[in-house]
């Protein structure tokens, strides 16, 4: 199991590499993680565990993480630059240092639902911040995912989004 590094969690390695149910996690989270692992994955097939262990020990996971970190950083930079340029009057990018999504808050009273509906017609998928709210909030904005878009498509997507801004 690979968890988020900002949660200070470690990979659960095959049993021969660790003590039974050893989980490196914050103390307050260990019980819940152990219970979840036992409930959902009480037994890992040896072939799967051996393959994952080799993948990690041979450095493939580390190389993949480093490669993807740089790729996502470039995508994020392209998106931020585009938003701060093309949409400077409409959106304010929320600073973030991690993740595959970013948020931009609206600067004025934009019809977000209408804008996003027109964007979908142009094959651009962006989410309203309201969709992720657990209650009532006055914050209005957009959530952009950049994990699955090619770098070359970001500019074209932003151009289509700008075109969709016009009613």
Q: Are residues 159 and 82 in the same domain?
A: yes
Q: Are residues 54 and 136 in the same domain?
A: no
83: pLDDT confidence band, cut at 50, 70 and 90? very high
Q: Are residues 109 and 42 in the same domain?
A: no
Q: Are residues 39 and 74 in the same domain?
A: no
- CA–CA gap between residue 45 and residue 129 (Å, rounded): 41
Where is the domain boundary, 19, 43, 58? 58
Q: Are residues 35 and 101 in the same domain?
A: no
What does the pLDDT look like over 50-63, one tens digit per residue?
888 888 889 898 89
What does the pLDDT look like over 108-144, one tens digit per residue?
889 999 999 999 999 999 999 999 888 888 899 999 9
Residue 139: CATH number of its domain: 3.90.1150.10
Burial (CB count <10 Å: 0-12, 13-18, 19+), residue 76 = buried
Give me the domain span that covers residue 147.
64-165
Residue 112: both structure tokens together: 């977000």
- CA–CA gap between residue 159 and residue 163 (Å, rounded): 6
Q: Are residues 98 and 51 in the same domain?
A: no
Phi first, then psi: give them for residue 111, nearest 5 degrees.
-80, 90
Model pLDDT, residue 6? 43
8 forms beta bridges with none
Q: Are residues 71 and 128 in the same domain?
A: yes
Q: Are residues 130 and 112 in the same domain?
A: yes
Lowest mean pLDDT: which of 17-26, 75-84, 117-126?
17-26
Give 131's DSSP letter: G
Where is the domain boundary, 58, 82, 102? 58
- Does position 75 have pLDDT exceeding 90, yes or no? yes
Question: Measured between alpha carbons, how far is residue 31 from residues 18, 40, 96, 98 in Å?
Answer: 17, 14, 30, 27
How many domains in the chain? 2
Q: Are residues 41 and 71 in the same domain?
A: no
- CA–CA gap between residue 76 and residue 60 (Å, rounded): 24
Question: Measured between alpha carbons, how far is residue 35 from residues 18, 40, 81, 130 in Å?
Answer: 18, 9, 44, 33
């Amino acid at each position: 199991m690979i968890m988020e590094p900002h949660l200070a969690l470690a990979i659960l390695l095959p049993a021969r590499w660790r003590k039974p149910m050893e989980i490196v996690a914050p103390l307050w989270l260990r019980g819940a993680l152990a219970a979840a692992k036992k409930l959902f994955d009480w037994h890992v097939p040896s072939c799967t565990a051996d393959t994952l262990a080799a993948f990690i020990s041979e450095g493939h996971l580390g190389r993949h993480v480093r490669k993807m970190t740089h790729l996502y950083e470039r995508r994020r930079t392209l998106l931020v630059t585009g938003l701060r340029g093309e949409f400077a009057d409409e959106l304010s990018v929320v600073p973030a240092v991690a993740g595959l999504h970013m948020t931009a808050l609206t600067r004025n009273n934009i019809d977000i639902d209408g804008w996003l509906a027109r964007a979908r017609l142009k094959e651009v998928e962006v989410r309203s911040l309201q969709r992720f709210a657990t209650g009532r909030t006055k914050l209005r904005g957009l959530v952009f995912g950049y994990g699955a878009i090619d770098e070359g498509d970001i500019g074209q997507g932003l151009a289509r989004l700008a075109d969709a801004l016009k009613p």
